[in-house]
Every structure is written in C-alpha cells, then in structure tokens.
Amino acid sequence: MMPVPYRSLSAVFLLALSSSVAAKTIYVELWGSTVLTDCGSKTLPCASVSLAVSASSNNDRIVVGPGVYTQNLNLNREGLALESLAGPRATIISPSNSGSDLVRVLVSRVRVGKIGKGFTLTGASGNSTTSGLTIVTSDLSRVRVEGNILRNNSIGAEIRGDRHSIRGNTIQDNSHAGIEFYNGDRLSIRDNRATNNNGDGFTFSGITRSTVLGNLAASNSGRGFNFGPLSHDNRINNNASDRNNSTGMQVTTGAGMRLIANLVTGNDSNVSISQQSPPSGPVRSLELKNNLAARATSGSPGFDVQNQQNARISGNTAIDGAGVNQGHGFRFTLGSTTALFNGNNTYDNDSGCGIENLGGPELLYRKHFFGASDGPDPDEDSDTHDAACGNFAANSSHAKKPNPIRVQRAAKL
C-alpha cells in the first residue's frame, strides 16, 4: 500500500472538522449582555438583535425574546434563521434611523420569522422609499419571510430575486405601498394579507412562473393585485380582493397567466386584463376559471378583457346584486378571441349587457347563464336580465339555470 501524503491527510482532517461544526442558536433578551464575545446563551443572551447577528455564523439561528428593539438590521449570514419567542405582537423591531430600510437581507437562504414566531417590523417611514423589509438584489434566492406584521412603514416590504417563500404575513397601514415584488422567478406567495395601505396592496414587476395563493388585498387606496407588464406565466389562485379604491385585480400581460377561483368584489373596478404580448417566445393564452367578480363601484365590467388571443374562460360569474356596477359582466375589446367561453354566469348587471364583444371576431359562448331560463335578453336596455351585445356565433348556447359557482373564499374578509 502506498503511503498517504501528509497534505492529503491534513485536508481530510480539516474537511471533517469543518463539517462537524454544528450551527448554533443565539438568544436575545432586552436585559442581556452588550459584550459581543460572551453573549448569546440562554443564561447570558445578547441585548440586541444586531449584536446577535454580529455574533452569528452562516446557518445559525437567532431566537429573540419579547420587547421593543430599536435598530436597523443587515442580515449578512447565509442560511441565518431569525425568529421570535413570543410572536409578532410581543416582539417589535423599529428603526434607529427611520430614513433607512429597517431589515435588509443581503444574502441568500435567510429566514425572517416563522408562523407564530414572527416580528412586527414598523416605523421605516423617513422617506417614500424606505421599507420594513427589503431583499436588496435580484441575484438572491430562497429567502423565507413568514408570520410577520409589516406596518406603518413607507413600503411594507420589497422582494427581489428567485424562489423565495413569502407566507402568512400581514402588511397594513403603510404610507406608500403594501408589498412589492421585482424581477423574480418561481416565488411562492401564500396566505398574506395586505390591508389599508396607501397605494397597491400587492405589486408584481418582472415576476414569472410563480404561485400567488390564498392572499387577501382589502381596503387599499390603489389596486388590490397589480401584475405589471413583465409579469407573465403565473398562477393566481384562490385570492380575495375586496373594497380597494382602484382595480381589484389588474393584469397587464395576459401571456400564460392562470387566474383560478379568485374572489374580486366591491372594488372601483374588478378584473382587468389589458394586453397579450409576452416578452419573447410563443404567445401563451390567458386562462380565467371559476372566478367571481361582483359589485364594482364604478361603471366598469366585472371582467374587462383586452387584446387577448385564444383565451380560455370558463366557470366565471360576474354579478352585481347591489345594483351599483352599471357595467357589463364581460367586455371583450381590441380584437380579443376565445378558444373556450363556457359555463359562465352574468346577471343583475345594470347596463343590460351580460357579454359585450366590441370590434373583434364573433364570439361563441356555450352554456352561458344570462339571468333567465330563456337566454339573453333581446333588449339590452331592459332590466329583466342580461343581453348579449355585439358579434356572436349563431350556434352559441345558453344555460337555463346558473352554473355552479366554484370560487372559494381563501381569506377571511
């Protein structure tokens, strides 16, 4: 047997030693030590979160006791997990400098909060661009932001990068916007609430192949959900948008967008899809399935579909039981076409048009319920039930009774 070189043995030993160093848990309490070199244990915790971050290494865990901590944080240890002991209402972080972002995530695989163990992040309001939490660059990935309350900042949170998980957060009472997503792919955005923000609740710019599931946007001064021009190929499923002062759900690029089982009610306008074009590649069609749009407060349609080719639209309901909409159930403009328009409902829309097809090729509808068993009202000015207004295929068919409404209420209003 040949002898193993000394250098090889040394390398093996060092590798084994480094892999055996376990991640540690660092504790924080207001009464703790201010000395970096001897704080962090349960019996002698660090006195501040920023001190604990300085004492940490990659993949460590920081557990923060209840109290109000006044400091801006830079999270610069990859794999660091930051969580509270007593939950967000008992554990508050506010800035020492309100003109800077409160929590800045500088590396990948960081976790801020946990369901039931998050933080209240509040007070970053020194100028219009400061946020309660920001992931600073788009090259970061796999950050988790869970179970936090982000309130009374200029912007609740700004999220950049890929494969992040944003779950179970409350974003409320922020002065310029709720939560904003930029240039990210394959995000998971679930069970968050954006309410009473001055501006949009959820804003998406350059977001692709992501899941937006079970979120609530309510009583924001702007739009509930705003998917900007470079956001496409996303699944928007089982969300609720209610009583926002602008559009409940705005989709600028319909390419590959799937809107399924969303509840959009009481907004200035409800669902608006405004253009088709993806940034590159083949055109991918819009899918609208099992959504409910009701009680818009302006004269807007329940579903306003513009410039969409071969859209698949089925099982949706556009109603106005409160009599305030005065708009159409569905409106198709700018040459929109449908590959499927099946099993939808429109009734109680005061304009009289359940479906309005403007300027495009004829539309074939199947099993559409207009509010009465005898099909569309021949007089669009009548208040008895809804009419079909525009250019429609002769072999279109109506339903004699309402199609089932399959939308679920994912978030409590």
Mean pLDDT (the chain, rounded): 88
DSSP assignment letter at 9: H
Q: Does 76 map to a domain?
A: no
Q: Is the distance from CB of 69 to CB of 93 less than 8 angstroms?
A: yes
Exposure on the CB side of residue 15, measured as CA atoms within 13 A: 6
pLDDT band at 279 (very low <50, low <70, confident <90, very high): low
Query: In 197-213, which positions are buried (b, 16+ CB within 10 angstroms) versus exposed (e)?
Result: bebbbbbbbbbbebebb
Q: Based on C-alpha coordinates, what's the Rg of the chain?
A: 26
Q: Does 395 map to a domain?
A: no
* Environment class of 141 (CB within 10 Å of its CB; exposed 0-12, middle 13-18, buried 19+): middle
Q: Is the distance from CB of 206 to CB of 180 less than 8 angstroms?
A: no
51 has pLDDT over 90: yes
Q: Does 65 map to a domain?
A: no
Measured CA to CA, the distance from residue 399 to residue 366 in angstroms comes to 8
pLDDT in the model for residue 326: 54
% of the chain at pLDDT higher than 70: 87
- The number of distinct structural domains making up the chain is 1
Q: Does 48 map to a domain?
A: no
Phi and psi angles of residue 184, each rounded to the nearest 5 degrees, phi first: -135, 150
8 has pLDDT over 70: no
Pairing status of strand 235-237 against strand 225-227: unpaired
pLDDT in the model for residue 340: 87
pLDDT in the model for residue 109: 98
Region 289-312: what's the mean pLDDT?
87
pLDDT band at 307 (very low <50, low <70, confident <90, very high): confident
Would the pTM of this model clear 0.75, i.e. be above it?
yes
Q: Does 339 map to a domain?
A: yes
Neighbouring CB atoms inside 10 A of 89's CB total 12
Determine the 3-state secondary structure of 66 from DSSP: coil
Measured CA to CA, the distance from residue 60 to residue 339 in angstroms comes to 52
Query: In 144-155, which positions are buried (b, 16+ CB within 10 angstroms) versus exposed (e)?
Result: bbbbbbbbbbbb
pLDDT band at 327 (very low <50, low <70, confident <90, very high): low
Q: Does 398 map to a domain?
A: no
Give the model confidence (pLDDT) of 171-182 as tens digits: 999 999 999 999
pLDDT band at 297 (very low <50, low <70, confident <90, very high): confident
Domain that holds residue 189: 86-390
Measured CA to CA, the distance from residue 304 to residue 264 in angstroms comes to 13
Residue for token pair 């939808």: 344
pLDDT band at 97 (very low <50, low <70, confident <90, very high): very high
Measured CA to CA, the distance from residue 376 to residue 123 in angstroms comes to 54
Measured CA to CA, the distance from residue 154 to residue 276 in angstroms comes to 33
Residue for token pair 């006044």: 70
CATH of the domain at 102: 2.160.20.10
Q: Is the distance from CB of 303 to CB of 331 less than 8 angstroms?
A: yes
Neighbouring CB atoms inside 10 A of 312's CB total 16
∠ CA 78-83-87, rounded to 5°: 160
Tokens, residue 90 = 């008992």
Tokens, residue 115 = 């369901």
Tokens, residue 387 = 């009419």
Q: Does 402 map to a domain?
A: no
Measured CA to CA, the distance from residue 29 to residue 70 in angstroms comes to 13
Region 256-267: what's the mean pLDDT?
94
pLDDT band at 409 (very low <50, low <70, confident <90, very high): low
Measured CA to CA, the distance from residue 139 to residue 185 in angstroms comes to 11
Residues, the chain, total? 413
Determine the 3-state secondary structure of 224 from DSSP: coil
Sign of CA dihedral 335, 341, 344, 347: positive
Q: Does 77 map to a domain?
A: no
Tokens, residue 368 = 């559409």
pLDDT band at 283 (very low <50, low <70, confident <90, very high): low
Q: Which residues contact 73 (CB under 8 A, 6 or more apart)?
A: 49, 50, 53, 93, 102, 103, 104
